[in-house]
Amino acid sequence: MDNHEEVREFLTSRRAKISPEQAGLPAGTRRRVPGLRRSEVAALADMSVEYYAKLERGNLAGASPAVLEALARALQLDDAERAHLLHLAQAADGTDALTRPRRRAAPRQWKAHRSLQWTLDAITAGPALVTNGRMDVLAANPLARAFYTDLYANPDNQANLARFQFLDPATRRFYPDWDLFADMAVAILRREAGRDPHDKDLHDLIGELSTRSKDFRTRWGAHDVRRHGTGTKRFHHPTVGDLTLAYEALDLAAEPGLHMTVYTAEPGSPSEEALRLLASWAASENTSAPLSRTPPAS
């Protein structure tokens, strides 16, 4: 990806999101652009308009940590956006390859080592899976495979959650909050693109999704980034119905760039009952057998 273009569009999009009122500035009249003017960002960051204009044209090379921090404050960047700005600056300086830990193997050839797979399999109360920044599912416990049955049912998905999100119609049913999931998926990929700008597989995935999905193209142009850490999501599983699950995403210290996500249900909830039923089905010898579920009393 072109670093200058990435920097230019990211800074421009962040500037457009902040109103003068949010920045503590008078709104004034005859504003021709959404959000802040370049001169206003420069003043907030305590730098000249000419220097800020140079940065916004995509020239982050040589920008000091103090400059980047001032810029992050002026644009009111959150933690994920600050990290993304730093990654873009490292790429501009050619230092990203030096500061990024090396992975042990090409992601598509990566296999979970035995103790990690044992750890996944030991988690029996909720789906647990390992993914990389491109949202490839690299390892999973049996309950995760049963949970993502539609993902694995279609070989075109290639066990990739982003392809599943934007190219598989099954997700419109599986994700009741489809737009929210779509926003999250694109923001995760955008963050990874800044963190690892030379990942050819990531470039290919983004190109494929941009070509085949208008929903993806629109969101990709927003330049939003986010960290996938913790929260609650709603699902509709084709077999056990509606679930509301909490999730925790953990970085794997032994495998830089990979993450383990574990989903759990509130104890005593209908979702916990649904997961128990799904786990029973996943553990059975014949997982293609239909399930019967008695709806919980309202």
Looking at the structure, do residues 53 and 114 belong to the same domain, yes or no?
Answer: no
Is 297 among the domain residues?
Answer: no
What is the total count of domains within the chain? Answer: 2
Looking at the structure, do residues 79 and 187 belong to the same domain, yes or no?
Answer: no
Looking at the structure, do residues 246 and 147 belong to the same domain, yes or no?
Answer: yes
Tens of each residue's pLDDT in the chain, 298 residues: 678 888 999 999 999 999 999 999 887 767 777 899 999 999 999 999 999 999 999 999 999 999 999 999 999 999 989 999 998 999 888 765 444 444 443 455 577 889 999 999 999 999 999 999 999 999 999 999 999 999 999 999 999 999 999 999 999 999 999 999 999 999 999 989 888 888 899 999 999 999 999 999 999 998 988 877 899 999 999 999 999 999 999 999 888 889 999 999 999 999 999 999 999 888 774 444 444 444 444 3
Looking at the structure, do residues 172 and 207 belong to the same domain, yes or no?
Answer: yes
Looking at the structure, do residues 135 and 185 belong to the same domain, yes or no?
Answer: yes
Residue 215 CB contacts under 8 Å (≥ 6 apart), including other chains: 166, 182
Residue 59 CB contacts under 8 Å (≥ 6 apart), including other chains: 4, 7, 92
- In this prediction, residue 108 carries a pLDDT of 58
Which domain-ending residue is among 50, 73, 99? 99
3-state secondary structure 161-175: HHHHHHHCCCHHHHC
Which domain-ending residue is among 99, 115, 142? 99
Which domain-ending residue is among 82, 99, 116? 99
Looking at the structure, do residues 156 and 240 belong to the same domain, yes or no?
Answer: yes
Residue 146: which domain range?
107-283
Asked if 263 and 127 touch (Cβ cutoff 8 Å), the reply is yes
Question: Whole-model pTM?
Answer: 0.79
Is 71 among the domain residues?
Answer: yes
Q: How far is CA 281 from CA 100, 153, 178, in A?
A: 41, 16, 26
Looking at the structure, do residues 248 and 130 belong to the same domain, yes or no?
Answer: yes
Looking at the structure, do residues 242 and 272 belong to the same domain, yes or no?
Answer: yes
- For residue range 223-271, what is the model confidence (pLDDT) as tens digits? 988 877 899 999 999 999 999 999 999 999 888 889 999 999 999 999 9
- For residue range 181-210, what is the model confidence (pLDDT) as tens digits? 999 999 999 989 888 888 899 999 999 999
Is 292 among the domain residues?
Answer: no
